[in-house]
């Protein structure tokens, strides 16, 4: 029993409550928002120390023994995801101070942001499949409102697509849960892992696995279920785009990793072959979509799709090296992708648009911003010595050691195409001459630091860029932690014993 | 009951899918409601329906009288209904806002792209030419 | 809505409905009922009042802003979960306090605090939705 386990869920709830009570004052809300994220980060760090030192930590909520009550479980994978989500939460909370307008603050932006984090953290921690559904819904309802807040034509269109497809995917998920319950009579994931191998009708288990693949696939935006993502992620303010692009799809990936390592390992030959195909198509379609667009955030949205493919590829390999690569890729991708979104926001503040064809001259007037963009873009494309290089290297090595040459070749090719899109942004927004018309008056005069308070947006970007470099230069310790996480995933008996007690 | 309920759930699900694919946004949301109900029904019937004692603990004892019915599916359904209720309220409010803002519930018109993307590339090259000259 | 019948019945019914919602709420301690259904009935009372007399009048009799109700409700949910943590048990463990008051036993517990939270959240949520739909056009 470890009481700390409940904190990543309770702290955002307390913060949201406080922010609701003080909703009249924007200043108070901002302070509460940032302070809540900071406390969350500290609590996650304390929990991380326990998991790192003593292995998997478990808490039976309400003292109801597993498998009857709801169990919270923190293994290494959960901890890494929690850690990165807490860091991103803090970064976004700081960035929002400047980016989010007063009206959105009055309509509950900060409470919703923390409820969103609560849902994300709950999904990472829970050891109960129905509870996972509940956390998904918590996360979804907060994201629905964040996406629609503002009611502009664009946002409503994006929100409608997002809401309907996600409602549908939740219902499929619930149907899958119902089938699992009907087959085994339990909802605790560790207990399910014990009982699923005893189910005689293996075909039915595989069917349920596919239902979960479709449902989580919609949330993770894999091929061919990704179309809602590029249609909606570019509509809300940048801080919201960034937290969606960074975290939400990765919760889907986390759920896929969890169920396909813990529950559905009966017919690996069938399920994981499908995963490999899905991974390949996701990578290729995402990157091709990005190549055909000229809106900053639409390009980034398509790249989210493409990068999800890499993570699914690592999962599909189902080896320690592959899973390690997938987990490391998730961490790296959250850093790089969120940072690119945040940079797009700064660029929009300076140029007044997200359309690349109307941008230019950022390198000439803001070389520091250009450097920050290059770090994140090169990390995304996988340049040494940045974080993306190690992520891709591990995945490629895993692919080659398994003899999966085709998918590995696709992965490398997609890396090149990613570079092409990043170069496109660089060439137009940063390197091209300043467009003659349509440029706001403050362009070139507004400094990144000092007057205009733009530094509130730049400092978080600098911190994330620093983290990207740090992860790249000192990759070994993090890779080792990822390997521990992967080994825990491949040997579910430790997880099961931690939850259910010695068998 | 064990055969009727799954068939009913399937029929409602199919109707829901049909409604989901209709033009009007309101009908789409009705489709979501129907699917949600059919999934709840499926959850109910998969929890094994039986006619036993209600799982209520009589005063003075610590266990319900065996054999008692399984209370868990109802707890799950209640949770799912409450969540669905909240989400649906939001979806309806969103549809209402969209109707007020965009003046239609026809999805083809609702989701029309405000800027025509097919011309984006052309304008881009034009822009570049302007810059060169 | 200008209707004499509606106005008169609403004035008579609102007290009954609120009382009934409290009855359902307290009954839920040991028998079917509880915070959620009680909250729904309570919200129904205020919705009826809002239809009959408009939202401004309803805000006046409600006294507290519905969003604040939600916040207080959330706070009591958190508190009911945290109390056992300070006593060394996991989050949300039920803690009971049995009091003898005038010959009958009164049971106070953390689930009761939790249920109060649910009640307030449900009332606050539904009333907030009704208000914002009634008070068109929205400012945002």
Is C21 a member of any domain?
yes
- DSSP single-letter state for residue A71: E
Residue C94 and residue A6: Cβ atoms within 8 Å? no
pLDDT at A91 over 50: yes
Examine residue C88 and state whether it is found in any structural domain, yes or no: yes
Alpha-carbon separation of residue C4 from A327, A453, C9, C52, C56 (angstroms): 67, 58, 8, 9, 19
Q: 3-state DSSP helix/strand/coil percent for chain B, to nearest 5?
A: 70, 5, 30
* Mean of pLDDT values over A445-469: 85
Percent share of chain A, pLDDT over 90: 55
Does residue C124 contact residue C69 with C-beta atoms inside 8 Å?
A: yes
C-alpha A272/C-alpha A161 separation (Å) is 29
Q: Considering only the beta carbons, identify the residue of B73, B86, B127 that sits closest to A141.
A: B86
- For residue range A194-231, what is the model confidence (pLDDT) as tens digits? 999 888 888 899 999 999 999 999 999 998 888 888 88
Strand partners, A74: A57
Closest chain A residue to B126, measured at CA: A357
**pLDDT-based confidence at C138, cuts 50/70/90?**
low
pLDDT of C121 reads: 93
Contact C129 B96 (CB under 8 A): no
Partner-chain residue, chosen from B46, B95, B131, that has the shortest CB–CB distance to A178: B46
Sequence-distant (6+) residues with CB within 8 A of B133 are none
Look at C92 and A13 and tell me if their CB atoms are within 8 Å: no
User: Which residues, listed in sequence order, are joined to residue B106 by a DSSP beta bridge?
Assistant: B24
pLDDT at residue number B113? 63
Contact check, Cβ <8 Å, A357/B42: no
Could you tell me if C19 lies within 8 Å of chain B, comparing CB atoms? no
In a domain, C140, yes or no: no
Q: What is the pLDDT of residue A217?
A: 93
Residue A281 has pLDDT above 90, yes or no: yes
Is A6 in contact with C75 (Cβ distance < 8 A)?
A: no
Show Cβ contacts of residue A484 under 8 Å, excluding neighbours closer than 6 positions: A76
Query: What percent of chain B is predicted at pLDDT more than 70?
Result: 82
pLDDT-derived band of residue A37, with 50, 70 and 90 as boundaries? very high
E strand or H helix that includes residue A59: strand A57-60
Cβ-based contacts under 8 A for chains A and B: 101
Residue C30, in any domain of the structure: yes
pLDDT in tens, B75-132: 899 889 989 888 888 888 888 888 887 777 887 777 776 554 443 333 333 444 444 4
Query: Cβ contact (<8 Å) for C125 and B82?
Result: no
Please check whether residue C116 lies inside any domain of the structure.
yes
- All residues of chain A having their beta carbon less than 8 Å from the beta carbon of residue C138 are 151
Give the residue, A112 or C105, on which the prediction is more confident: A112
- Which residues of B are less than 8 Å from C136 in CB distance? 100
DSSP string, A207-261: HHHHHHHHHHHHHHT-TTS-THHHHHTTSS-HHHHHHIIIIIHHHHHHHHHHHHH
Residues 6+ apart with CB under 8 A from A480: none
Q: Which chains have at least 3 CB atom pairs separated by less than 8 Å from chain A?
A: B, C
Chain B residues with CB-CB distance to C137 below 8 A: 100
Chain C CB contacts of B86 below 8 Å: 125
Residue B133 clears pLDDT 50, i.e. is over it: no
Inspect the interface and report whether the beta carbons of C129 and B89 lie closer than 8 Å: yes
Phi and psi (nearest 5°) for A195? Answer: -90, -25
Q: Which structure tokens are listed for A262? A: 């813990």
Please give the residue range of the domain that contains residue C99. Answer: 4-135
Across A168-193, average pLDDT: 92
Indicate whether A359 pLDDT > 70: yes
Q: Read off the pLDDT band of A355 (50, 70, 90).
A: confident
Nearest alpha carbon to residue A265 among A346, A193, A331: A193
Cβ distance B82 to C36 less than 8 Å, yes or no, reads yes
β-strand partners of A60: A71
Return the minimum-mean-pLDDT range out of A94-108, A421-435, A461-475, B114-128: B114-128
Identify the closest residue of chain B to A161 by CA–CA distance: B111
Residue C80 lies in a domain: yes
Task: Indicate the SS3 state at residue A454.
Answer: coil
HEC string for chain C = CCCHHHHHHHHHHHHHHHHHHHHHHHHCCCCCCCHHHHHHHHHHHHHHHHHHHCHHHHHHHHCCCHHHHHHHHHHHHHHHHHHHHHCCCCCCCCCEEEEEECCEEEEEEHHHHHHHHHHHHHHHHHHHHHHHHHCCCCCC
Among the listed residues A364, A314, A339, the one whose alpha carbon sits nearest the alpha carbon of residue A464: A339
Q: Minimal Cα–Cα distance from B111 to chain A, Å?
A: 6
- Select the residue of A16, A20, A60 nearest C90 (Cβ to Cβ): A60
**Tokens read off for A35:** 């302070």
Say yes or no: B94 contacts chain C, CB-CB below 8 A: no
Summarize pLDDT for A8-30 with one digit per residue, the tens.
999 999 999 999 988 888 888 89
Please state, rounded to an integer, the average pLDDT across all residues of chain A. Answer: 90
CB–CB of C85 and A107 under 8 A? no
What residues of chain A have any CB closer than 8 angstroms to a CB in chain C? Answer: 1, 3, 6, 10, 13-14, 16-17, 20-21, 23, 59-63, 103, 106-108, 149-151
Quote the minimal CA–CA distance from C59 to chain A in Å: 17
Best to test chain C binding among A1, A2, A3, A102 (most C CBs inside 10 Å): A3
In order of their start, the domains of chain B are 1-51+69-111 (1.10.287.3510)
Subunits with 3+ Cβ pairs within 8 Å of C are A, B
Prediction ipTM score: 0.88
Q: What is the pLDDT of residue C140?
A: 42
Quote the tokens at residue A464: 């994330």
Q: Closest residue of B to A167, CA-based?
A: B32
Q: Which of A477-486, B13-22, C54-63, C131-140 has the lowest mean pLDDT?
A: C131-140
Q: Is A441 helix (H, G, I), strand (E, B) or coil?
A: coil
pLDDT 10s digits, A458-488: 899 999 999 999 999 988 999 999 999 999 9
Domain count, chain C: 1
Residues of B in contact with A147 (CB under 8 A): none
- The rounded distance, in Å, linking the Cα atoms of B90 and A76 is 36
């Amino acid at each position: 029993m470890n009481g700390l386990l409940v904190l990543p869920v309770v702290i955002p709830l307390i913060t949201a409550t406080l922010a609701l009570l003080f909703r009249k004052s924007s200043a108070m809300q901002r302070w509460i928002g940032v302070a809540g994220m900071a406390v969350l980060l500290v609590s996650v760090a304390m929990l991380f120390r326990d998991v790192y030192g003593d292995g998997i930590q478990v808490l039976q909520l309400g003292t109801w023994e597993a498998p009857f009550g709801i169990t919270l479980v923190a293994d290494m994978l959960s901890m890494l995801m929690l850690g990165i989500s807490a860091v991103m939460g803090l970064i976004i909370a700081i960035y929002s101070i400047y980016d989010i307008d007063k009206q959105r603050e009055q309509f509950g932006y900060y409470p919703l942001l923390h409820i969103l984090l609560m849902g994300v953290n709950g999904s990472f921690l829970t050891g109960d499949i129905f509870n996972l559904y509940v956390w998904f819904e918590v996360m979804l309802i907060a994201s629905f409102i964040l996406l629609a807040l503002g009611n502009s034509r664009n946002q409503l269109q994006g929100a409608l697509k997002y809401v309907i497809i996600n409602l549908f995917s939740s219902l499929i998920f619930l149907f899958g849960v119902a089938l699992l319950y009907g087959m085994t009579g339990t909802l605790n994931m560790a207990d399910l892992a014990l009982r699923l191998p005893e189910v005689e009708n293996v075909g039915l288990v595989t069917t349920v696995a596919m239902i979960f693949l479709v449902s989580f696939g919609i949330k993770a935006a894999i091929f061919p279920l990704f179309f809602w993502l590029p249609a909606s992620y570019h509509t809300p303010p940048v801080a919201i785009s960034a937290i969606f692009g960074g975290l939400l799809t990765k919760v889907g990936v986390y759920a896929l990793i969890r169920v396909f390592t813990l529950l559905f390992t009966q017919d690996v030959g069938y399920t994981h072959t499908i995963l490999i195909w899905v991974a390949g198509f996701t990578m290729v379609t995402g990157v091709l979509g990005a190549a055909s667009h000229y809106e900053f955030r639409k390009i980034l949205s398509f790249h989210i799709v493409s990068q999800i493919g890499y993570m699914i590829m690592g999962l599909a390999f189902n080896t320690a090296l592959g899973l390690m690569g997938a987990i490391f890729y998730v961490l790296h991708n959250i850093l790089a992708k969120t940072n690119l979104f945040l940079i797009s926001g700064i660029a929009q503040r300076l140029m007044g648009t997200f359309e690349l064809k109307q941008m230019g001259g950022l390198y000439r007037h803001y070389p520091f911003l250009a450097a920050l963009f290059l770090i994140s873009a090169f990390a995304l494309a996988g340049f040494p010595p940045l974080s993306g290089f190690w992520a891709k290297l591990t995945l490629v090595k895993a692919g080659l050691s398994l003899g999966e040459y085709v998918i590995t070749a696709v992965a490398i090719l997609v890396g090149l195409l990613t570079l092409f899109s990043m170069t496109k942004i660089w060439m137009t927004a940063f390197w091209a001459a300043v467009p003659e018309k349509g440029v706001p008056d403050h362009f070139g005069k507004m400094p990144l630091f000092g007057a205009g308070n733009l530094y509130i947006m730049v400092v978080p970007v600098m911190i994330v860029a620093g983290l990207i470099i740090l992860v790249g230069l000192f990759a070994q310790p993090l890779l080792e932690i990822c390997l521990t996480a992967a080994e825990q995933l491949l040997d579910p008996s430790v997880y099961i014993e931690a939850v259910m007690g010695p068998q | 009951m064990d055969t009727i309920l799954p068939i009913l759930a399937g029929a409602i699900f199919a109707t829901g899918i049909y409604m989901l694919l209709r033009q009007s946004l309101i009908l789409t949301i009705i489709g979501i409601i129907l699917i949600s109900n059919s999934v709840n029904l499926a959850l109910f019937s998969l929890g094994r329906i039986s006619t036993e004692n209600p799982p209520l603990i009589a005063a003075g004892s610590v266990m319900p009288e065996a054999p008692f019915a399984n209370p868990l599916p109802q707890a799950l359904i209640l949770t799912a209904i409450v969540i669905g209720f909240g989400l649906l309220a939001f979806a309806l409010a969103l549809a209402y806002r969209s109707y007020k803002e965009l003046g239609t519930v026809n999805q083809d018109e609702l989701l029309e792209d405000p800027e025509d993307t097919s011309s984006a590339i052309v304008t881009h090259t034009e822009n570049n030419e302007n810059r060169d000259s | 809505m200008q209707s004499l019948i509606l106005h008169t019945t609403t004035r008579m019914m609102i007290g009954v409905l609120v009382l009934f919602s409290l009855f359902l709420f307290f009954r839920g301690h040991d028998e079917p009922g509880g915070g959620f259904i009680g909250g729904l009935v309570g919200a129904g009372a205020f919705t009826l009042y809002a239809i009959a007399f408009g939202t401004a009048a309803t805000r006046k009799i409600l006294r507290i802003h519905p969003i604040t109700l939600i916040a207080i409700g959330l706070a009591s949910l958190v508190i009911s979960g945290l109390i056992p943590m300070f006593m060394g048990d996991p989050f949300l463990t039920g803690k009971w306090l049995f009091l003898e008051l005038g010959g009958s036993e009164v049971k106070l517990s953390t689930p009761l605090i939790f249920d109060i939270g649910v009640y307030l959240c449900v009332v606050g949520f539904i009333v907030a939705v009704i208000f914002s739909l009634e008070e068109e056009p929205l400012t945002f």
